Structure 1
Amino acid sequence: MSQESEHGKWTVSSSDESTEENNDAEKPSTSSLSHSGHGKTSGSQYPCSEARKVGHKRKASPVKFNDTSFSTEISPAKIQRTSQEGLGWCLSSSDEEPESEGQPQHAQKEAVKEEKYSAPKKQPSRRFEDDELPVSQKPEKHYKVASEGQDTWDLLNGGNPFRFFVTKVKGIKSKYNSGALHIKDILSPLFGTLVSSAQFNYCIDVEWLIRQYPQEFRKKPLLIVHGEKRESKAELHAQAHPYENVRLCQAKLDIAFGTHHTKMMLLLYEEGLRVVIHTSNLIDADWDQKTQGIWLSPLYPRLPHGTTGSAGESVTNFKSDLIHYLMSYNSPTLKEWADIIQEHDLSETRVYLLGSTPGRYQGNQKEKWGHLRFRKLLKEYTSPIPAQESWPVIGQFSSIGSMGADQSKWLCSEFRESLVTLGSSVKTLAKPDVPIHLIYPTVDNVRQSLEGYPAGGSLPYSIQTAQKQLWLHSYFHKWSAETSGRSHAMPHIKTYMRPSPDFQKIAWFLVTSANLSKAAWGALEKNGTQLMIRSYELGVLFLPSAFGLDTGYFHVKKKMFSGSNEPVTSFPVPYDLPPEQYGSKDRPWIWNIPYTKAPDTHGNMWVPS
């Protein structure tokens, strides 16, 4: 079966069958890196998505672009490649789609006989030599912590009312890391004297995580909240076993194909409490050369002993919403953390919490989570200004689920209806003329990135999904972040916003773990009477009213790392505006097909097998 559009052509086996439209951003895997590929250990062992493991393996065992043996190892009958700029989409003619997209993908298992290759000899200039070492032997990467280049308290409390940060990136000019954070900054003693902490995440390398804590905090109680099952759960427990201070809490995922995708830290200090909501997995690669987003709360002081009720609540109801989110896990361990939050004063919070939890919700429960929760917040806490109802919507993400046969099935119906809501006085039905701009990296974005093709392991959009929704690709725009010096740091951040037509203002901004998928945001069922969500997600929503602005919008900060010549209330959007639409030769990155006609920044090809 051949598929073609202006964004590319590919061939898939006639035996491929569509699965349920439920694939999530990062598909759960039940095998660790040590069991991937041909059973060879390839470095860090942690449960993660199949795409992630392929990316990790390709860093450790690259296929060089000038490897002449490659051409003899691929049968033309196995891989049918197009000639369009040498980067067409293709699959083996014998490939069959897995039984479900919640299981590991093996779409190219016979396309390339990788075990016949010998890994190229290490070159002195190669950037990723450390990734070939076992975790226990890896040297620590050295990042300047905030205190070395600037006053930490100024970073946290001065000149950044939004408390929104991006992660530090290795290999770019230092000025573009000014005001950025590494995980070691967040966990630094300068931020507080740690008593205990909780880490919520999807992909977790326990040994690496422990090393990110300062030496004096590495034996403090640490709770890890995860969604692993079966073999992956056993591996995570094995990782945690050497650390007596580490406890694990398994999030219940009773609906098929869901993931525990939330990324949050709860940090209890002698001085108070801090909440961090971010987009990075707890693995080395996510804090190295990727663009990630972080919201860092103020330091919340402890309330006077005996305080009860709604004391310490913010104007955004952040405290009660966070407690409600924790209680949704139905875990006695997380009830302890809910009690800790209850004891602190969160009144300085200026963001709204927006979460998803697995379930089927009806009646007044429908608006508690997912995109209907988003709709409710926009309805209650925004006010329209003239012509604002025609402002476009931008979605930016690192992966994509099945959207349906056409845009009317979800994207331009219930989802857009939620995102274009403006106050209670405006009809919430989405207008057909409200543009949607979707930002997702092209093949060339990935190829020319700091990491090269392996960066695509964290962009797990599969050929099985892409070939079912060609219509979606006409909405795509390139990843570009020249103004922040980060165009070559591939995005794992996920953001949504409502800009003005000239892209100088935004009505609201959201940073979240939620990619563009029904599993993350929820989909209406039973004639709209029920919202079904598969995954745990968490984000924070920035609304002008919560920051004392009665204009109905933020100005867009011209340069994210510029000096103080711009108003502090200008929002630091972490990529270029306006977004640039895909050209006729651009194609979205697809992780599970080969790219062999052009080398990446390390002189390698992408052979995902």
Structure 2
Amino acid sequence: MLQEGAHGKWTVSSSDESTEENSDNEKPSTSSLLHAACGRASGPQYPCSEARKAAHKRKASPLKFSDKSFPAETRLAEKQRPSQEGLGWCLSSSDEEPEDQEKQAHKETVKEEKNDAPKEHPLNFHKDNELSENQKAEECCEAPSEAQDTWDLLNGGNPFRFFLTKVRGIKQNYNSGALHIKDILSPLFGTLLSSAQFNYCIDVEWLVRQYPQEFRKKPLLIVHGEKRESKAELLAQARPYENISFCQAKLDIAFGTHHTKMMLLLYEEGLRVVIHTSNLIAEDWHQKTQGVYLLGSTPGRYQGIDKEKWGHLRLRKLLKEHASSVPAQESWPVVGQFSSIGSMGVDESKWLCSEFQESLVATGSSVTTLLKYGVPIHLVYPTVDNVRQSLEGYPAGGSLPYSIQTAQKQLWLHSYFHKWSAEVSGRSHAMPHIKTYMRPSPDFQKIAWFLVTSANLSKAAWGALEKNGTQLMIRSYELGVLFLPSAFGLDKGYFHVKGKLLSESNDPATSFPVPYDLPPEQYGSKDRPWIWNIPYTNAPDTHGNMWVPS
């Protein structure tokens, strides 16, 4: 389908969501699910977003940059591409000369080969091949750590209990202190009686394989938000497993999702609760950066004191009650980092720099006093080149579903964007699916608070005020953990930042492991945010491929 706007004509492969609030979600369309049911060879074996389906398609049928005999879909995209002059962003992933692009692609390809990057999928992609790829990944780096190492990791010198997931394709020392789902489900922690998995996107067959053999027939409850065809597809996945039951989350408000990601693990010895940011699919535990009390969102319209139970008003209440004031804190910025973006409105005053900012800067001090200083907002979201140069290449953008329809309505937002960079932890080339928010000091060496959550930057996730501020409306289920210095007995009112800005002599008990580099680097004049549903054909990714989503 062709769409024309301020950025020219585009071939749009999504369901062209016309309602603003739908664009930030990863919800599958009915037509795509029916197509998947009829021809599974072209897509994943579970309900997922159009962006992820496009990524699966491109992994299965990569479009080589060096191949001059492009398929019809690529020629169509080339024909429709307008002049880049005066556009809000360029379709190319780089403004380098073609010769420089090819040299750079060769260097990056060699680098990935040295890092044992995953091999490309064959063109004839089918279930057996997908299973083989997943199993190879599990054998390569997704196997659990040595038992004692895992035990020490979870019960040793990590007072915050904040962990990242292991990433395949980076040096093993950068996976130090990281966990895979098999580590979390290890029998080392007790005798599992039953478990519950709350999530958005679920591959049942893959999930079952992550449990130790002795626990795979234990009762498993899956809490989801699927409806109609996608629900039927999810239930069909579980037919071979008599121990699996389902609970459908209630979603009465249009375009809401069950986006919470949580595990409840009941053992003979007790109960464990794991809050994380990964979907229950192989890709999210393979080459993505993810995070593993409490702050949530629940669909509904809330008034009176109920407004402070959920969403960004819940965060505001917690910060007012438990965050300590720090001298000169009015100059401390706020940082948001996420993998998807919803419609923010025609300008920053509609939500981002009004009600949402008020919640992020709240402390025991007056919010109004702090706001008049114009607290800076830094938003961390991958550039096109971040995605292009990642371990997965362009298909990594399938988990970053920012659409052209939403982006071209809010060009003002892009002035807030900063690049994804995690060089210190060796994770710059693993695209983020983690979502975090924090209040750092101006020199980025201290943090007043840190939040890891499933909530992306959207009104659907965080809630938006209605009826002159008397009502908060939330569309989706979300869940996160707020880390406050006061909860760890730190009377100074802040954590130190663990990273390159600090000496090794800092006490690890007060140094928080931020999962990306600080200070964040603002987009340059040639940087563009990743938009999943437009083509990128002027520069190859780390596998020598182009990106044409349709």
Give the TM-score normalised by structure 2.
0.88
Aligned counterpart, 1:82: 83
CA distance in 1, matches of 2:217, 2:121: 26
1:200-252 Cα shifts (integer Å, max 9, x gaps): 00000000000000111000000000000110000001001110000011001
- Residue 65 of structure 1 aligns with which residue? 65
Match 2:313 to one of 339, 359, 372? 372
Q: Which amino acid in structure 2 is aligned with residue 262 of structure 1?
A: T
1:153-172 matched pairs, under 5 angstroms: 153-172=151-170
Q: Return the alpha-carbon distance in structure 1 between the equivalents of residues 61 and 273 of structure 2.
A: 38
- Correspondence list, 1:457-476, <5 A: 457-476=398-417
Once the 2 structures are TM-superposed, how far is the Cα of residue 24 of structure 1 from its aligned partner?
2.7
Do the aligned residues in 2 keep the contact of 1:33 with 1:45 (CA within 8 Å)?
no
Match of 2:107 in 1: none
Deviation at 1:127, TM superposition (A): 1.8
Aligned to 1:127: 118
Give 2:355's aligned residue: 414
Equivalent pair of 1:523/1:532 in contact (CA under 8 Å): yes
Distance in 2 (alpha carbons) for counterparts of 1:22 and 1:144: 34
Deviation at 1:569, TM superposition (A): 1.6
Rate the CA distance shift 1:292–1:77 in 2: closer, same or farther, 3 A.
closer
Q: Partner amino acid for 1:187? A: L
Q: Aligned with 1:162: secondary structure?
A: coil
Corresponding residue number in structure 2 for 1:290:
288
Cα distance change, pair 39–151 in 1 and its aligned pair in 2 (3 A): closer
- State the 1:383 CA deviation: 2.0
Residue type at the aligned position of 1:26: E
State the Cα deviation string for residues 15-50 of structure 1 (Å, max 9, x = none): x99534453342343356782599452353101111
Q: Which residue of 1 aligns with 2:104?
A: none
The one-letter amino acid of 1:234's match is A
Shift of 1:61: 1.3
The 8 Å contact of residues 495 and 511 in structure 1, kept in 2 or not, is answered as yes
Give deviations 1:527-549, integer Å, cap 9, x for gaps: 00000000000000000000000
Q: 1:175 aligns with which of 150, 173, 176?
A: 173
Letter in 1 for 2:316: R
| Cα contact 1:34–1:41 (8 A) shared by 2 | no
Helix, strand or coil at the partner of 2:201 = coil
Higher helix proportion (structure 1 or 2): 2
Deviation, structure 1 residue 80: 2.4
| Aligned residue pair count | 514
Matches of 1:151 and 1:560, distance apart in 2: 28
Superposed counterparts of 1:459-538, under 5 Å: 459-538=400-479
CA contact (8 A) 1:452 1:600 kept: yes
List alignment gaps of at least 5 residues for structure 1: 4-8, 92-122, 295-351
Aligned counterparts of 2:121 and 2:256: Cα–Cα separation in 1: 33
2:241 to 227, 239, 243: 243
**What are the Cα deviations for residues 47-79 of structure 1, in whole angstroms up to 9, with x where unaligned?**
111111111111111111112122765247951
- Judged with a 3 Å threshold, the aligned counterparts in structure 2 of structure 1 residues 215 and 554 are, in CA distance, closer, same or farther, namely same
Aligned mates of 2:86, 2:209 — CA distance in 1: 44
Distance (Å, rounded) in 2 between the aligned partners of 1:560 and 1:511: 22
Structure-to-structure mapping, 1:42-121, within 5 angstroms: 42=42, 44-70=44-70, 74-75=75-76, 79-83=80-84, 88-89=89-90
Write the mapping of 1:106-505 to structure 2, written as runs, cut at 5 A.
127-129=118-120, 132-134=125-127, 135-138=130-133, 139-140=135-136, 141-142=138-139, 143=141, 145=143, 147-148=145-146, 151-294=149-292, 352-423=293-364, 427=368, 430-431=371-372, 433-505=374-446
Which residue does 1:97 correspond to in 2?
none
Question: Alignment partner of 2:378: what SS?
Answer: strand
Measure how far apart 1:144 and its partner are.
Answer: 6.2
1:544 to 485, 500, 503: 485
**Secondary structure class of the residue paired with 2:177:** coil
- For residues 59 and 288 of structure 1, what CA distance do their matches in structure 2 show? 14
Matched letter for residue 444 of structure 1: D
- Stretch moving more, 564-573 or 163-172: 564-573
Following superposition, the deviation at residue 181 of structure 1 comes to: 0.4
Tell me, yes or no, if the aligned pair for 2:497 and 2:512 is still in contact at 8 Å.
Answer: yes
Separation in 2, partners of 1:371, 1:453: 33
Q: Please give the per-residue CA displacement for 1:439-485, whole angstroms capped at 9, x wherever unaligned.
A: 00000000000000000000000000000000000000000000000
State the AA in 2 paired with 1:127.
Answer: P
Indicate the residue corresponding to 2:520 in structure 1.
579
Change (3 A) 1:43 1:473: closer
- Offset of 1:385 from its aligned partner? 1.6
Q: Which amino acid aligns with 2:327?
A: P
Letter in 1 for 2:530: W
Relative to structure 1, is the Cα distance of residues 179 and 604 closer, same or farther in structure 2, using a 3 angstrom cutoff?
Answer: same
Deviations 1:267-325 (A, max 9, x none): 0011111000000000000000000001xxxxxxxxxxxxxxxxxxxxxxxxxxxxxxx
| Cα RMSD after superposing both structures | 2.8
Q: Using a 3 Å threshold, how does the CA distance of structure 1 residues 542 and 253 change in structure 2: closer, same or farther?
A: same
Q: 1:34 to 1:284 in 2, by over 3 A?
A: farther
Q: Could you tell me which amino acid in structure 2 is paired with residue 237 of structure 1?
A: L
CA shift for structure 1 position 151: 2.5
Distance 2:69 2:82 in 1: 18
Q: Which amino acid aligns with 1:283?
A: I
**Cα 1:158–1:564 shift into 2, 3 Å:** farther
The counterpart of 1:603, out of the listed 524, 544, 547, is 544
Q: Secondary structure at the match of 2:294?
A: strand
Question: How far, CA to CA, are the matches of 1:260 and 1:160 in structure 2?
Answer: 30
Query: Residues 144, 64 of structure 1: CA spacing in aligned structure 2 closer, same or farther, 3 A cutoff?
Result: closer
Please name the residue that 1:23 is paired with: 23
Which whole-Å CA distance do the structure 2 matches of 1:157 and 1:446 have between them? 35
Distance in 2 between residues matched to 1:76 and 1:274, nearest whole Å = 50
Residue 579 of structure 1: CA displacement? 0.1
Which structure's relative contact order is higher, taking Cα pairs within 8 Å and 6+ residues apart? 2
Matching residue of 1:305: none
How far apart are residue 136 of structure 1 and its match?
Answer: 4.7
173-182 or 39-48, larger mean C-alpha shift: 39-48
Contact 1:370–1:533 (Cα < 8 Å) also in 2: yes
Q: Distance in 2 between matches of 1:207 and 1:521?
A: 32
Q: Which deviates more, 557-566 or 269-278?
A: 557-566
Q: CA deviation at 1:517?
A: 0.2
- Residue by residue over 1:408-435, the C-alpha shift from the partner in whole angstroms, topping out at 9 and shown as x without a partner, is 0000000000000011556466335200
Q: How far apart are residue 564 of structure 1 and its match?
A: 7.7
Greater shift after overlay, 453-462 or 58-67? 58-67
Amino acid of the structure 2 residue aligned with 1:53:
K
- Structure 1 residues 33, 86: closer, same or farther in 2, change over 3 A? farther
**Alignment match, 1:594:** 535
The equivalent of 1:102 in structure 2 is none
Question: Following TM superposition, by how much is the alpha carbon of 1:550 offset from its aligned partner in structure 2, in angstroms?
Answer: 0.5
CA–CA distance in structure 2, aligned partners of residues 224 and 494 of structure 1? 23
TM-score (norm 1): 0.79
2:101 maps to which residue?
none
- Distance, in Å, in 1 between the alignment partners of 2:151 and 2:203 is 30
